[in-house]
Every structure is written in C-alpha cells, then in structure tokens.
Amino acid sequence: MNVLVINCGSSSLKFQLINSETEGVLAKGLCERIGIEGSQLVYQPAGGEKEKSLASMPTHTQAIKLVLDALVNEKTGVIKSLHEIGAVGHRLVHGGEKFANSTIITEEVIAAVESCNELAPLHNPANLIGVRACQELMPEVPMVGVFDTAFHQTMPEKAYLYGIPYEYYDKYKVRRYGFHGTSHSYVSKRVAQLEGKPYEELKTIVCHLGNGSSVCAVKNGKSIDTSMGLTPLEGLLMGTRSGDIDPGAIEYIAKKENLSLEEIMNILNKKSGVLGISGISSDFRDLEDAAFKAKDPAAIRALDAFHYRVAKYIGAYVAAMNGVDVICFTAGVGENGPETREEICSYLGYLGVTIDPEANKVRGKEQVISTPDSRVKVYCLPTNEELAIAKATVELVG
Ligand code: AMP
C-alpha cells in the first residue's frame, strides 16, 4: 500500500509517499510559507532531481492540492492516480493521556485532539489543519494519527509526576508527557532487530539529538522515562531551548530585566540552549566549526554543557533501568556528529563503554560504534519517523 505521510506545521508541510511493502520512498518534499507571500513547493521523486517551484498556497488545502498534483504529474509524478494512495498517516504532536497508540482519525478523535490543543498550542492546531485539508481533498481515503507523545504513555506515575500540588495534575493534567516518541520507538525497535534480540528483553537508551533533543529509557519494549516534559522545553540543552532550569531563575531574571512571563518563555524557547550560551548559532555544524577549527571559547562552552547534560541523563536512565544493554545516537547531530558522540561517551567509562574511533567516523548510517569488548553496545542509528508513521498507518488500515 502507498501511504502519504504528512507532517503539518503552521506555515509549512512536509510529506513523503511511502510504499509500505518495499519501505521505499516514492517521492518526498515540503511546502514552505503557506499563507505567506513567496510560498514554494519542493518536490523530489525517488531517483530524480529536487524541484523547487514558487506557487500560491493561501491555505493548507491549496498546499496539499499542489502536492497531490505533483504526485500524479505526467512527467515527474510517481503514481498514475490518487486511487493509488491507500491511506494518509498524520504526525500529531500531543495526544495528552487520551492516546497511548496511533489511531484511525474520526470526528471523535479530532475533538479529543482539539481538547489537547492547550498543551501544544503551536503544533496541534496546525496538525489538525493538515488533517482537515486531506479529508477535504481525499474524502474516501482513511487517515491515521500517530502521536509524538503516545510511546511515552507507558511511563510510570513516579516518572511523569512533577513535585507540585497533585490538584494541578487532577484538574489540568499537568505532568510529564515526553515527545519524539515515534523516533524513540522506531530506533529502539530497530536496534533490537539489529541485535537479533527480543525487544521485550532489552534495556536501551536512545539519544535523539537534533534541533530539539531528548533522551529516552526503553526497558523491555516500553518507554519508562524520557527527558522532555509537559512541553518540549524540559530536559537537555537544545539548539535554542534551555532544557531543565530552576523556576527560581525565571522569577529572578523577570524581575531584573522587567520581563513578562511571555517574554521569558520566548527567551527559554527561542534564545537559549547552545545558541544562548554561545551567542553564535543554534546549528551544531556552525558550533563545531567554531569550537574545533577556530577554538572559540563560547562555542566550546556551549558544546561542553550540551554533552555534559546528555551524559547526565544517560547516567540517570542507567539507574532507572538498573543497567543498559545498548545506547543509540540518532537525529541530525546524533547521526552526523562523531565528535558529539565521542564527547558524550567519554563520560561513560564507568559503564565499560569504549568507542572505536574508526567506526565512529560514520555519518547517517546504521553502525555499531563501540569496540567489540565494550560492555555496552553503542550505535549510530538514523531515525525514520516517516517510515514509522507509514507502518503504524498500515497496521491500522490493514
Ligand atoms: P534535526 O533537528 O534532527 O534535523 O537536526 C538538526 C541539527 O543537526 C542541526 O543543528 C544540524 O547542524 C545538525 N547536523 C546536521 N548534519 C550535521 C553534521 N554533518 N554534523 C554535525 N551536525 C549536523
């Protein structure tokens, strides 16, 4: 079956058409600046050139219409008619406590996702706009929602509760949810396959390190803890997000700088993390260039803090699982940053982790990067959230 995978943001939309039998990507691309002047479609058929075309996209429906037209285009299309699309899989960010699994999208499901909008105001409404647009253009095609939060619904209460009055959990569901669940689930399952071991018997730590970053402890096939919380701001230092911070610091800065809560949240989300510490960039390539080539102290400081925080979470999750069998590095930096992996693993000698410097040169490929005698196996393992969404969609649609 061909599955159209849609990841819809407020002004952009990424798509992939995946054949679920071969797991091959038939075409992929994105629509940028939807509803804004200068919108463009980027489209790439498998084995073909990437095409960029300026096109008017006042609405998401218009954008998806352009994607569908491109997929059936006589010259560069990859299918003859839209009937060849068997299902659409939508990335949905926040399913709250309502969704512990992917689900076929019905009107009741849409209403339930809408009720989680307050928990992810930037993402959920945009995701649902994508769902509505697809429903309008492909009314007969089944749609499936795959949630970033679902995989972490197995976290025990002791891991997801904050140390605040319980009434806030009772009344408002203020708790830790975790994100990047589709990626953590995909990578932890894939590594079990590569290891030839039952998923239900492994203790795995997945480090999803990209612009947004999180670590997840997967014990016996279940997420038992992860570093993001109620929102994707908690946990690791990220490109522009602070990660863990004493709430007392927020009050202190607000008073000193005369800032509103909204302004402070904007700083913690958009001007902090490695960008905030370095003052150089949120992009790890820029920072690694500045740190390793130019020996820039601000870039070194930011990367040191980033590596240290990841290592600290790994240590916490080894404790939470009473051991670890495999550690996986994934996402933009995890897959492509040998220096990042090496620096983080340099903290893990106490676990008997030893890295093979030759193997660790790998970028963007599945590979064991630890030495044969390392007590814990370490992998570079590219994530594939789109394939995971396509597989979950086929499982439900049948
Ligand atoms: P993601 O959010 O997973 O797309 O990851 C984006 C981050 O990955 C950016 O900070 C990039 O700089 C980083 N990244 C991508 N390619 C490389 C690379 N070759 N070396 C180091 N970092 C990279």
As a CATH number, domain 197-385 is 3.30.420.40
Q: Are 247 and 256 in contact (CB under 8 A)?
A: no
Centre of ligand 1 to C-alpha 240, Å, is 13
**Tokens (6 digits) for 291:** 């740190």
- Cβ–ligand 1 distance for 239 under 6 Å, the answer yes
Region 128-142: mean pLDDT is: 95
Q: What is the pLDDT of residues 148-167, one digit of tens each?
A: 999 999 999 999 999 999 99
What is d(CA 396, CA 398) in angstroms, rounded to the nearest whole number?
5
Instruction: Flag whether the pTM goes above 0.75.
Output: yes
Q: Which of 238, 280, 284 to mutate to test the pocket of ligand 1 (most atoms within 8 A of CB)?
A: 284
Centre of ligand 1 to C-alpha 88, Å, is 28
Q: What is the pLDDT of residues 305-337, one digit of tens each?
A: 999 999 999 999 999 999 999 999 999 999 999
Region 252-270: mean pLDDT is: 96
pLDDT of residue 122: 81
CA end-to-end distance (rounded Å), the chain: 9
Which of 3.40.190.170, 3.30.2320.80, 3.30.420.40, 3.10.310.10 is the CATH number of 2-147? 3.30.420.40
Centre of ligand 1 to C-alpha 242, Å, is 18
> Across the chain, what does the average pLDDT equal?
96
**Intervals of CATH 3.30.420.40 along the chain:** 2-147, 197-385
- Catalytic residue (choose from 69, 148, 286, 296): 148
Q: Which of these, 28, 5, 40, lies nearest to 76 by C-alpha position?
A: 28
Q: Please list the alpha-helical segments (H only) found in the chain.
A: 60-72, 107-114, 124-137, 157-160, 166-172, 181-195, 247-257, 261-270, 273-278, 284-288, 297-321, 331-336, 338-345, 385-397
pLDDT of residue 118: 86
Per-residue pLDDT band for 360 (boundaries 50, 70, 90) equals very high
- Cβ–ligand 1 distance for 331 under 6 Å, the answer yes
